Amino acid sequence: MKIVVSGASGFIGSALVPYLAGGGNQVARLVRYKRQPGGKEIHWDPAAGYIDVALLEGCEGVVHLAGESIAAGRWTEQKKARIRNSRVEGTHMLAEALAGLKNPPSVLVCASAIGYYGNRGAEMLSENSSPGTGFLAAVCQEWESAARPAKAKGIRVVHLRTGIVLGLKGGALAKMLPPFRMGVGGVLGSGGQYWSWVSIDDLIRVIHYVLANEQLTGPVNAVSPNPVTNREFTRILGRVLARPTIFPIPAPVVRAVFGEMGEEMLLGSARVEPARLLASGFGFKHMALEATLRQVLGK
């Protein structure tokens, strides 16, 4: 396939592009800088509402991963506006551009997040579960709705609701490793909040799978079948690193240091199952957290 990828230089995109290219696909990156002569990049500027539509012609699939980082620092009003606009406005502009092509792609795979479900305690959540409340839940709902122009054109749209992505080159694990390696990692808040996770390798396989599987459309939970509590995650990561995890961070401290971001991302609970992937026959390679962390960390 000829596949266009946005967010190609990010944590997930930088792993996805070589995986797709290694499988014989022709991959073009959607980038914000000006395209070099003879390059395979496609220029776009979501803030200015510009995209080089002519270079989108002929693409068969699009993977849209671009968006402002949600885990970098406290959520000021300006940061929250960037998080929302980079996802909602960028997705809407891309969806409209694809819908306007003479030969639109057959599939658009859009990143989303399990933040859609909000803070739900120990409730088991599938793609049929109702949306939650809070900033991230509201953003995810708008984010997914922004792809409607593509869906109305007949393009198969898949919303990948990802959780914590485990890999060395970015994401939550890369931020957690320094304190845990120093022996000062610990449980956050009560530790009873569920963290739904997926290995970077499995997530890349999921993206490839949904690109090709015409039966999958709409929301797809891209998480391992075995979510764990923060207490379990902390204990297992400490064991893999052979470090103590005896320094808990009480919830009031998390709120004081991280603000709203800490409340929703660190203390919030989302126990999510990949119901639609499992029903379709997808097989996860990494389902046990400890084995996954040992593989990722070379332990």
Instruction: Write down the pLDDT at residue 47.
Output: 86
- Whether 272 has a pLDDT exceeding 80, the answer reads yes
Residue 244 makes CB contacts below 8 A (sequence gap 6+) with: 183, 238
What confidence tens digit (pLDDT) does each residue in 17-69 have? Answer: 999 999 899 999 999 887 666 667 999 999 888 999 999 999 999 999 999 98
Which domains can be identified in the chain, with CATH numbers? 2-297 (3.40.50.720)
Instruction: Write down the pLDDT at residue 201.
Output: 97
Which residues is 44 bridged to in the sheet?
Answer: 51
For residue 34, the Cα-to-chain-centroid distance in whole angstroms is: 26
Instruction: Write down the pLDDT at residue 39.
Output: 67
Instruction: Write down the pLDDT at residue 38.
Output: 62
Residue 8 and residue 31 in contact, taking contact as beta carbons nearer than 8 Å: yes
Instruction: Write down the pLDDT at residue 71.
Output: 82
Instruction: Write down the pLDDT at residue 237.
Output: 97
Instruction: Write down the pLDDT at residue 36.
Output: 66
Tell me the three-class secondary structure of the chain, residue by residue.
CEEEEECCCCCCHHHHHHHHHHCCCEEEEEECCCCCCCCCCEEEECCCCEECHHHHCCCCEEEECCCCCCCCCCCCHHHHHHHHHHHHHHHHHHHHHHHCCCCCCCEEEEEEEHHHHCCCCCCEECCCCCCCCCHHHHHHHHHHHCCHHHHHCCCEEEEEEECEEECCCCHHHHHHHHHHHCCCCCCECCCCCEECEEEHHHHHHHHHHHHHCCCCCEEEEECCCCCEEHHHHHHHHHHHHCCCCCCCECHHHHHHHHHHHHHHHHCCCCEECCHHHHHHCCCCCCCCHHHHHHHHHCC
What confidence tens digit (pLDDT) does each residue in 188-232 have? Answer: 999 999 999 999 999 999 999 999 999 999 999 999 999 999 999
What confidence tens digit (pLDDT) does each residue in 101-149 have? Answer: 999 999 999 999 999 999 999 999 999 999 999 999 999 999 999 999 9
What value does the mean pLDDT of the chain take?
Answer: 95
- Whether 295 has a pLDDT exceeding 70, the answer reads yes
